[in-house]
A and B are shown apart, each in its own frame.
Chain A
Amino acid sequence: MQVLIVDDNASMRTLLTALLGSQGYEVVGALEDGSAVMEAVRRHRPRIVCLDYQLPGRNGLAILKDINNEFPDIDVLFMTASEEGNIEQLAADAGASGFLRKPFGQKQVLDELLQVTETRKQAERANKATAAPAVAGLSTARWGRRKAIIVDDNSSIRVLLKGVLSELGLNIVAQAANGEEAIRAAKTHQPDVLFLDVNMPILSGLEALPKIREASPETAVVMVTGDTSRQLVQQAAGLGARGYIVKPVRPAYVETFLKKLFAN
């Protein structure tokens, strides 16, 4: 699996290159400057980019957004030593597939990369098999192909979430990229569950939530967010959300959540 490393710390680049090389990853480049990253991504088309936040030339968050827009199938493992309180949330909302706060160890990188690649594999497997009437036997039987809608302005997250949810046996009947589209889709499809991003253009998740509940009262609305602050959780619950899934999306977490949701 091809990996591009971007970090302005020389020691980090050297160690990551050696570590990933020893674990069977193919390191296609190790850059220290943010301004050359998109060109390298276009040239090498890596499957994963290990991307530092604070870089000379261009900051990692802006690069992450560009990668997601241009190459939604490339996973970005976001790495930072920043103390900014909301950086994890910003990276998750921008589509980071994994997040590591520095300092971190070699085992942590390998574990996070494993999670990222497993999630991607699962999503790709399910997305390839969308033509099949049922994807996952046990889950499908248990949840009876319940109808679901995914709402997120980030196409990369939609693709990933669709794969994960399909694999778990949900029937994805529609996708939307903002709150307004979400309300229309909810009214049309009356889904069992709707996964709703919080930060979106035009109409945010929290603004759309009461209107979705009004348009489809039986739908369980689940927030999908990188922000798990008490304030947001309470606000969403007060508006009728049935729970939340934390970004980056992890299949095991989603499955456990859905089991609880449908058990009720």
Chain B
Amino acid sequence: MTLMIDFPFASAGPWVDHFKEVELPVLRHTVHQLEELRSEAETINVHKLAAIITHDPLMTLRVYRYMEEKRSKSQNAEITTVERALVMMGTYNFYDSIRDLPVIETQLKGHPKAMLGLLKVIARSCHAAAWARDWALLRQNTAFDEIAMAALLHDFVEILMWCFAPALAVRAREQLAASPHARSDVVQEQVFGAPLEAIMLELSQHWGLPSLLLSLLNPGDAESGNVRNVKLAVDLARHTANGWNDAALPDDYREIEALLHISHSNFLERIGAPEEQIVAARAAEAAGDPLAS
């Protein structure tokens, strides 16, 4: 078990060096679910196993890291989804690789605020992944699984900060709460010594995440439809986490509806918005209100 960071590093590089060395902990719930199925390790359905893994971003990262570490030189095609990774490595080998997993709840036993913050980010990431997948399917994009994975992992450095630098992560959240209009990358630079995106990009490359995922996570490709699909899902999850009346949501809605070419009421239904907002949107559309969409 490593040392919790209380004093920020000066730049992204030392953070990357640090995270390269740590063992990624996973949620206790994930450990329990996986252990329940250990006796069926050789016969278990990989779809079922992948569904458990992809509800935990750090467990998902562990699978990608494992695949990269075990990758043979003769392997040309990249393994881009957890399900395919499980097929490739075999469920027995997967179970063999996850003995005595470190547990996040143990790591954050003395940091209840950080535990709560972490669970919120994980919930947010899971929402983003589900939405990103749904929209990719709607856009008839065959890379829907990869798009979902990119949304799930988009904020993994924030998750790492909650796990390994809980005091700093709490400070960043409090600063953002105190100044809602502050830019998050500016606050991150002040608190962590580097914007999280810079750490994420460098770390993703180091861990050998599939190039398709890297391109989906790359802000440099922001104009690509698939990258927008990921980014908009992440933004929507972040803003709805503040409530369905968050001031940033109308802009999110406009952009996503333009990407998906669907009506406002239809979109609100797809993302599970409150019923009264859906009814209001339908009424506005029926009345021909130009602001309805």
Question: Interface residues, chain A, CB within 8 Å of chain B?
Answer: 9-12, 14-16, 19, 81, 102-107, 109
By beta carbon, the residue of chain B nearest A83 is B106
Residues of A contacting B6 in the complex (Cβ-Cβ under 8 angstroms): 105-107
Distance A231 CA – B175 CA, assembled complex (angstroms): 46
Known: A11-B18, A14-B21, A103-B107. A19 touches B1 (CB 8 A): no
B109 to chain A, nearest CB (A): 8
CB distance from A247 to the nearest CB of B (A): 22
Of chain A, the residue at the smallest CB distance from B4 is A105
- CA separation between A19 and B2, bound complex, in Å? 13
Closest to B164 in A: A103
Chain B residue at minimal CB-CB distance from A109: B3
Known: A11-B2, A15-B3. 5 other contacts (CB 8 A): A9-B1, A12-B2, A103-B2, A104-B3, A105-B166
B7 within 8 Å of A (CB atoms): yes
B187 at the interface (CB under 8 A from A): no
Partner of A12, one of B3, B7, B107, B109: B3
A104 to B3, CA, bound (A): 6
Shortest CB distance B48–A (Å): 31
Pick from B21, B107, B167: contact of A10, CB below 8 A.
B21
Neighbour of B1 across the interface among A12, A14, A16, CB < 8 A: A12
- Interface assignment of B209: CB less than 8 Å from any CB of chain A: no
Which chain B positions have C-beta within 8 A of A103?
Answer: 1-4, 107, 109-110
Which B residues are closer than 8 A to A by beta carbons?
Answer: 1-7, 18, 21-22, 107, 109-110, 166-167
Q: Are A104 and B18 in contact (CB under 8 A)?
A: no
In the complex, what residue of chain B is closest to A101 when comparing beta carbons?
Answer: B110
Q: Which residue of B lies closest to A15 (CB)?
A: B3
Q: How far is the CB of A47 from chain B (nearest CB, A)?
A: 21
Could you list some 28 contacts between A and B, CB below 8 A? A9-B1, A9-B2, A11-B2, A11-B18, A11-B21, A12-B1, A12-B3, A14-B18, A15-B2, A15-B3, A16-B3, A81-B1, A102-B1, A103-B4, A103-B107, A103-B109, A103-B110, A104-B3, A104-B4, A105-B3, A105-B4, A105-B5, A106-B3, A106-B4, A106-B5, A107-B6, A107-B167, A109-B3
User: B3 — nearest CB in chain A belongs to which residue?
Assistant: A15
Q: Look across to chain A and name the residue whose beta carbon is closest to the beta carbon of B19.
A: A11
Q: Which 5 A-B pairs have the closest CB atoms?
A: A105-B4, A11-B21, A11-B2, A106-B6, A15-B3
Does B18 contact A15, Cβ atoms closer than 8 Å? yes
What is the CA–CA distance of A105 and B114 in the complex, to the nearest angstrom? 13
**Contact partners of B110 in chain A: CB under 8 A:** 103
B171 to chain A, nearest CB (A): 13
User: Inside 8 A of A14's CB, which chain B residues have their CB?
Assistant: 18, 21
Complexed CA–CA distance, A109 and B2 (Å): 12
Distance between Cα atoms of A61 and B22 in the complex (Å): 25
